[in-house]
Chains A and B, each alone.
Chain A
Amino acid sequence: MNNKVLMSGNEAIARGAIDAGCRFYAGYPITPQNELTAYMALHMPQEGGVFIQAESELAAINMVYGASAAGARAMTSSSSPGISLKQEGISYIAGARLPAVIVNMMRGGPGLGNIWPAQSDYFQATRGGGHGDYRCIVLAPSTVQEAYGFTRFAFSAADQYRNPVIILGDGMLGQMMEPLQLSDKALLKTENRQLKTKKWALTGCKGRKPNIVKSFYMAEGDLEKANLALQKKYRAIQEKEERFESIFLEDARVVLAAYGTMARIAKGAVVELRKRGKKAGLIRPITLWPFPRKAFQGLLRTHRRAKLLVVEMSYGQMVEDVKLALECKLPVEFLGRSGGGVPAEAEIIKEVNRLIR
């Protein structure tokens, strides 16, 4: 059966969530992610799920906390200023070890900023964002197809690790329409049947001891124990879940690093540079946390004379992770714009040419 459709990135994320068995969504209007909310409003009830337009981002994320605590696959979405508001709830979700998927279709900041695409929330997404020692798994799709597929993966990762997962896109990916191959319905059914029973969920204490969902530890030493358990989980995620894509890496003298929408433009630049015989390559992190450190550390053995060029729609946030992964042993340059500007292919090519000379 041909399941090819034309969809925006926002709609593809919503579809991916529903196909992954998400049955609870709460959101609050904010541009540029409103198509996602509208898709959920229409389709979630048709799937027997719950859609709520919440009174605020705070309420939305805390409804997701409740729905997840009750055992449902649950999601909320927003864009940068709204995601700042959700940080309280994300911290509680992380602390209570609840699975949840949070979508941030980033726009320009700080403050109200504007509604143009940006990647300025990288620090917020990858460093935890709210209070406390915690991490969210962060996935960065660069196409509408990936927006769909990564969202489905996000739900299984969230359940597996009992951890919040962030889909970090931007306004351009959200608004862009591309052909999308939906997964076969039968396959989805099989996948969703494999959903594990959540023994910790609040379903009523029939035939068992009461379950408690909490992140408060008052007795001496208890919080430290809980935090050490989280840290152990994060190490396991770091070990197993690093994901990236690379192209033209073999003999590259300049290795670009870019994610999401920016990686598409960087990819275009690399292809063009190769046509001109310039040895450029690209590493595209797919998981921003865990950051694909091994991909960069490999360069220390194989590309000892290469230079790095990190390209972002921000003023240099991922560049710090690249430097950390490389332990500053290779030169790392940066090209970035934010607040409405997007580094163009021609700008990247010019910068690579300057570095190769």
Chain B
Amino acid sequence: MEKIYSRPESLRSAPTHYCAGCGHGTAHRLIAEIVDELGIREKTIGVAPVGCAVIAYDYWNFDCSEAAHGRAMAVATGIKRVGPDKVVFTYQGDGDLAAIGTNETIHTANRGENITVIFINNAIYGMTGGQMAPTTLLGQKTATTPKGREYAAEGYPLKISEMLALLPQVKYIERVSLHSPQETMKAKNAIRTAFQNQIDHIGFSLVEILSPCPTYWGLTPKEALDWIRDTMAKEFPLGRIK
């Protein structure tokens, strides 16, 4: 019988530590599939963030570095400038990329570093126990917004992808989602584009992935996917931003 589905070489055979229904496992796999399909595993260097995905290097089967919270793009800048022939990507959550690392995010994009950024937006801090993220929706209850996020005190959900689209050296930004198989396939295509851009020396490319966190949304895995479709994607519209 012909085998039509198997683990990519870029993904190690290891059970992940993620919660049931978490999007990280899917996102890791999509990246691994693209790295395999593009034949770049032996020159890919990933930068893992601080957050739930900190040990992503235990799942990916290529060179990886950790970075301090928010500094993944600065670390990636150093790696890419030293090895311009390598394929360098960061994998960052919303707190990492859009709160503590906002400065690094804006300036790495503005310098037009030829790297790929995978931005996991789950509107929450997962690893620390479900606190408000910059992307938390208005009214969304978290450990630090027990009555729900209010714009008057906490501001609106930060649309960092739309902000980055203003920068002339940003070449590609697309927002995708993991809430259905169709959307997951679109996410994979976006990730392919973002990596291909780097290989083609086109420049800074970012894919924002709306990703479920059932544990800290207080939902079942199925409800979490529906919440992305019905609520989160209204605030963060899917599609090509730049």
Contacts and interface: CB of A to CB of B under 8 A. Distances in A.
Given A59-B107, A210-B62, A69 B81 contact: no
Given A63-B75, A65-B75, A69-B78, A204 B44 contact: yes
Interface majority SS (helix, strand, loop, mixed), chain B: helix
Given A55-B107, A70-B78, A204-B45, A62 B71 contact: yes
A205 interface: yes
Interface in B27-63: 41-45, 47, 54-55, 57, 60-63
B104 interface: yes
B64 interface: yes
Nearest first, the 8 A-B pairs at minimum CB distance are A66-B78, A62-B74, A67-B78, A66-B75, A55-B107, A62-B71, A204-B43, A206-B42
B99 interface: no
Interface in B90-121: 103-104, 106-107, 111
Contacts of A206: 42-43
A38 interface: no
A151 to B, nearest CB: 20
B65 interface: yes
Contacts of A202: 45, 63-65, 79, 83, 86
18 contacts: A52-B81, A52-B111, A55-B107, A58-B71, A58-B74, A58-B103, A59-B71, A65-B75, A69-B79, A70-B45, A96-B66, A202-B64, A202-B65, A204-B83, A210-B57, A210-B63, A211-B64, A216-B54
Contacts of B104: 55, 58-59, 62
A231 interface: no
A71 B80 CA distance: 11
Contacts of B42: 204-207
Contacts of B83: 70-71, 202-204
A212 interface: yes
B119 to A, nearest CB: 18
Nearest to B76: A66
B78 A24 contact: yes
A42 interface: no
A54 B74 CA distance: 9
A336 interface: no
Contacts of B81: 24, 50, 52, 63, 67
B45 to A, nearest CB: 5
B158 interface: no
Nearest to A209: B61
A73 to B, nearest CB: 10
A70 B66 contact: no
A213 B64 contact: yes
B77 interface: yes
A70 B80 CA distance: 8
Interface in A34-92: 50, 52, 54-56, 58-60, 62-72, 74, 88-89, 92
Nearest to A66: B78
Contacts of A63: 74-75, 77-78, 81
Nearest to B61: A210
B166 interface: no
A98 to B, nearest CB: 10
B143 interface: no
B82 interface: yes
Interface string A208-231: 001111111010000000000000
Contact of A215 (B63, B66, B76, B78): B66
A233 B8 CA distance: 39
A89 B175 CA distance: 31
B67 interface: yes
Nearest to B104: A59
A69 B65 contact: yes
B20 interface: no
B19 interface: no
Interface string A1-44: 00000000000000000000001101000000000000000000
A54 B65 CA distance: 20
Nearest to A63: B78
